[in-house]
Structure 1
C-alpha cells in the first residue's frame, strides 16, 4: 500500500513539474512561424537574465510558475531575447537579439512585446506585479482591447 501511495505521489509531482516547463524559443523567426501555423500569439521577453533584478523577479514570480505555463502552452509561443552580462551567447544570437531590440525600440528591461500571428505588435509592457494571474489578465486585456486576436479558450 505504501508503494502505491508513493507511486501516486511521485506521478503527481512529475505532472506538476512538467506543467511548469514552458518551451522558450531563442529564434524569433522560428517562433513567429510556429505561432502563425498554430494560431497563437508570440510573447517576446526582452531580458537581462543574469543581471536585471526585475527580469529575475518576473521569471521567478511569473514565467516559472505552473499557472503561467499552463496558460501560455495553449495560447503563446514564448521567446527569450536575452542580453546577459555573464553568460555567453553565440555571435549570431547576439546579433539577432540586438536586431530585435532595435526593431522594437527597447530601452529598458524587462520589456514584454506581444505579437499576433502576422508579426504585428498588439501589446507592450514591463514588469507586472501580482504574479501569474496579473500578467495573464493583462495579456488577455491587451488582445481584446486591440481587437487583434481572441485568446483561444481551453
Structure 2
C-alpha cells in the first residue's frame, strides 16, 4: 500500500510541474489574456545550438522554472531544428518563421522574448550561465 501511495504521489507531482509548452502563438496569446499572464517566447535551435541546449537542460527543465512558469507565464517554443530526423511539420515551420520575422529579425539563438499578454515586447535575453532561480529573477525584473 505504501508503494502505491508513493508512486501515485510521484506521478501527481510530476504532472503538477510538467511544462506546457505552446507551439501556436495565437492560442498562447488567447490563453495569456484569459489567465492574465505574460508570455515567454523562446527561439531555439534544439539540435544544433549549444547554448539553446544548455538553456533547455539547465533552466527550462529545472523544477524551479517549471513551477514558476506554471504559475506565472504562458510559454511558447519556436524551434528551428536542422537535422532531417528532427524536422517539424511544414505548418509549424511556417508558424515559427512568421514569429521570427516579427520577434527575432536579428536571427539570434537562443532568444528569449518576454511579452505582455497582448504580444507587446517587454524585453529580450539570451542564454545566461546562472541558476534557474537567477534566470527567473531576471525575467521577473523586466516584467515590472
TM-score normalised over the length of structure 1: 0.85
In 2, distance between residues paired with 1:106 and 1:69?
A: 28
Match of 1:30 in 2: 27
For the residue of structure 2 that corresponds to 1:113, the secondary structure is: strand
Is 1:97 matched with 2:130?
Answer: no
Hey, what does 1:85 align to over in structure 2?
82
- Retained in 1: the 8 A contact 2:17–2:70? no
Deviation at 1:9, TM superposition (A): 3.0
Separation in 1, partners of 2:90, 2:71: 32
Which blocks of at least 5 consecutive residues in structure 1 are unaligned? 145-154
RMSD over equivalenced CA pairs, Å: 1.4
Measured after TM superposition, the shift of residue 11 of structure 1 is 3.2
Q: Are 1:43 and 1:77, in contact at CA under 8 Å, matched by a contact in 2?
A: yes
Task: For 1:36 and 1:106, locate their aligned partners in 2 and report how far apart those are by CA, in whole Å.
Answer: 28
SS of residue in 2 equivalent to 1:127 = coil
Does residue 1:125 correspond to 2:125, yes or no? yes
Larger Rg: 1
CA distance in 1, matches of 2:90, 2:11: 36
Instruction: Give the 3-state SS of the residue equivalent to 2:107 in structure 1.
Output: coil
